[in-house]
Amino acid sequence: DVIEGRQVASSVRAIAVPGSEKVDQAARALGLHNIFTAAGFEWRKPGCSMCLAMNPDKLVGDEVCASSSNRNFMGRQGSSTGRTILMSPIMVAAAAIQGAVADARDVFQLEQTS
CATH number, domain of 56, equals 3.30.499.10
For residue 6, list its beta bridge partners: none
For the chain, how long is the longest CA-to-CA vector? 42
Count of the separate structural domains present in the chain: 1
pLDDT in tens, 10-56: 999 999 989 899 999 999 999 999 999 999 999 988 877 776 666 77
Residue type, 41: F
Residue 46 counted as domain residue: yes
Note down the domain range covering 81: 14-107
pTM of the entire structure? 0.85
User: Residue 52: what pLDDT?
Assistant: 67
pLDDT in tens, 63-80: 888 888 877 767 677 778
Task: Provide the H-helix boundaries in 12-76.
Answer: 21-29, 32-39
Summarize the confidence of residues 91-108 as an average pLDDT. 96
Residue 112 counted as domain residue: no
